[in-house]
Amino acid sequence: MVFSEGSMDVGDEAMAAVGLSHIAYIRPVAKGENGYAVCSADGKQLAVFPNYDAAFFTARQYNLAPVNVH
């Protein structure tokens, strides 16, 4: 599919939903706490794990594509 300039008007809400059911962001929890949070594409925290590997592999187990947030 090829898009030319101006061929599609995508609203903010539509862009926010991109990857919502496929992407999981993995990030460290708040400063001073240990662990890694798995968050949905819209930023909702789904779970917290004691280490990165547990967060990553659990996300994969639920068919999510984990990406890191720095």
Q: E-strand spans in the chain?
A: 23-28, 36-40, 45-49, 65-68
User: DSSP class of residue 43?
Assistant: S
Residue 17 is predicted with a pLDDT of: 52
d(CA 38, CA 25): 6
- The reply to whether the predicted model has a pTM over 0.85 is no
Tally of CA atoms within 13 A in the half-sphere of 32 that contains its CB: 0
Instruction: Give per-residue pLDDT as tens, 13-51.
Output: 554 555 556 788 999 998 788 999 999 888 889 999 999
Pairing state between β 23-28 and 36-40: antiparallel
